[in-house]
């Protein structure tokens, strides 16, 4: 079945550091891939998405590229800010499915 594996946290970085959160997936067909972010006390919200191979999703300085050859969708940001502290979820939606499969989440903390 479909599944998502993301790096375990917590991840702690200093402000302006480079961020990578790894995500790999297992799926049949051509899934859509997502990164969701959850700020403290809030629900999840879509950060970015990519719907086909080699697509790059981007938003708020974050980027992720859909790599079919490595079944990966790693999240990157060149210079993190304290306000980026949150939990990040990698997720996929199968090509014939309605529901989204979420990873376990990675907690990110940014030190001033």
Partner 1 sequence: DAGVIQSPRHEVTEMGQEVTLRCKPISGHDYLFWYRQTMMRGLELLIYFNNNVPIDDSGMPEDRFSAKMPNASFSTLKIQPSEPRDSAVYFCASSLSDTQYFGPGTRLTVL
Residue 45 CB, nearest distance to partner 1 (Å)? 7
Determine, following the binding rule CB under 8 A, whether residue 66 of this chain makes contact with partner 1.
no
Closest CA to 49 of 87, 90, 1: 90
- By CB under 8 A, the residues from 15 to 34 that bind partner 1 are 32, 34
Region for residue 76 given its phi and psi (left: phi exceeds 0; alpha: psi -120 to 50; beta: otherwise): beta
Determine, following the binding rule CB under 8 A, whether residue 42 of this chain makes contact with partner 1.
yes
Q: Return the DSSP state at 73.
A: -
- By CB under 8 A, the residues from 89 to 108 that bind partner 1 are 89, 93, 98-100, 102, 104-105
Tell me which of 51, 65, 71, 85 binds partner 1, using CB under 8 A.
Answer: 51
Question: For partner 1, which stretch binds (CB under 8 A), given 7-15, 44-52, 57-65, 74-82?
Answer: 44-52
User: Tokens 């594996």 sit at which residue?
Assistant: 5
Partners of residue 77 on adjacent β-strands: 19, 62
Report how far apart, in Å, the C-alpha atoms of 48 and of each of 1, 33, 41, 88 are.
Answer: 24, 9, 20, 11
Dist. CA 9–CA 19, nearest whole Å: 13
Determine, following the binding rule CB under 8 A, whether residue 83 of this chain makes contact with partner 1.
no
Positions in the binding site for partner 1 (CB under 8 A): 32, 34, 41-46, 49, 51, 89, 93, 98-100, 102, 104-105
């Amino acid at each position: 079945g479909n599944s998502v594996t993301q790096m375990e946290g917590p991840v702690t970085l200093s402000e302006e550091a480079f961020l990578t959160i790894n995500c790999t997936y297992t799926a049949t067909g051509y899934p859509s891939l997502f990164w969701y972010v959850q700020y403290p006390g809030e629900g999840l919200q879509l950060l970015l998405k990519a719907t086909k191979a080699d697509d790059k999703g981007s938003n708020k300085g974050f980027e992720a590229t859909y790599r079919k050859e490595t079944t990966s969708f790693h999240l990157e940001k060149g210079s993190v800010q304290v306000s980026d502290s949150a939990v990040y979820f990698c997720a996929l939606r199968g090509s014939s499915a309605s529901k989204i499969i979420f990873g376990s989440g990675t907690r990110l903390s940014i030190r001033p």
